[in-house]
Amino acid sequence: MRIFHHPDQLRHAPLRELNNGEWTDYAETPARLTTILNALGEVEEARDFGLDPILAVHDQSYVAFLKSAHDDWLAAGRSGDAIGYTFPIVGRRKLSLARIDARIGAHAMDAATPIAAGTWAAAYGAAQAALSAFDAVARSEERFAFAACRPPGHHAGADYMGGYCYLNNAAIVARQAVSQGLSPVAVLDVDYHHGNGTQDIFYDDGDVLFASIHADPTTDFPFYWGHADECGSGGGEGATINVPLPRSTDWNGYRPVLENICARIAAWGAKFLVVSFGADTFAGDPISQFRLATADYRAMGAIIAKLGLPGVIVMEGGYAVGALGANVTTFLAGFSDQA
């Protein structure tokens, strides 16, 4: 399996986040990517596919905001990482606001996603890694390719950031697949947290099935998305599947749910698969509460690979840095088992 990353992905290095009412050290560190790359061995540098595939998913005004936000923060006399403190409630008008604090709040869903000096370059690089993986598969050079994305992407919506995510790498790949005639496309999200951004982007889109297995949002972030009764709307009605699971779910509880979701993807007739893989389902993850073991990831990969679809795996969460390399390589080994 070919593996892609971009060196600029290491440039994103915020210092703190607001979590559970406290300022804490930022969990989504460059060490996550370094650990993964060291474990993977041979990795290819991503090509640059430009902004057009990103703008096929994200609003132009949001992309412009991301590109300039940290410079605008410094120009306002601030220092350090840019982070918002005022957020418009649902239903408020979207306004063109001059003050950087207001613009951050208008494009953020939380206070755990600061913008540092290298954030735009890293997010752009992660998107190019995902696009490079897609290109390898679309050219029939590989059945599956892995994008070692960092920062992750599945919490980012068309015009907002959140949950450590700025650009939605999985959605960018899925939209590219549709544009190249590979629909219907399925996005399977197996991160601990619900991929609310991906769901939002495709909620009324019948070309893309979004299926997610995640922690119950009544107890875990992102709270306002990922409930079982969210099934899509309009042209996308029935093309969203959410299966929330309780904290402490182990492989015995997770496996039959995954097998059922894969059967539903097959029945839906998907021609291309995007996997949002988060290793924060690991028992030792510091910010998550599932109980999967490293060995379980091989079985997880094999079950997904049995679908027999071409596709791209994009990296999402996983914060137990010491085990992250082993968890990622074990998951990818499951795909090799089915090659």
Residue of 12, 155, 193, 194 marked active site: 155
Alpha-carbon gap, residue 213 to 244, rounded angstroms: 6
| Whole-angstrom distance, CA of residue 15 vs CA of residue 83 | 11
Cβ atoms within 10 A of the Cβ of 262, count? 20
Helix/strand/coil (H/E/C) assignment for every residue in 53-114: HHHCCCCHHHHHHHHHHHHHHHHCCCCCCECCCCCCCCCCCCCCCCCHHHHHHHCECCCCCC
Amino acid at 275: V
Is residue 227 among the annotated active site residues?
no
Distance CA 225, CA 228 (A): 9
For residue 88, the one-letter residue type is: P
- Tokens coding 209: 């099935």
Q: Which of 66, 243, 216 is nearest to 156 (CA)?
A: 66
Q: Rounded CA gap, 159 and 201, in Å?
A: 10
CA-to-CA dists, residue 31 to 43, 62, 319, angstroms: 16, 28, 10
Q: Which two tokens stand for residue 177?
A: 């697949």
CB 120 within 8 A of CB 66: yes
Classify the phi-psi angles of 300: left when phi > 0, otherwise alpha if psi is within -120 to 50, otherwise beta: alpha
**Catalytic residue set:** 155
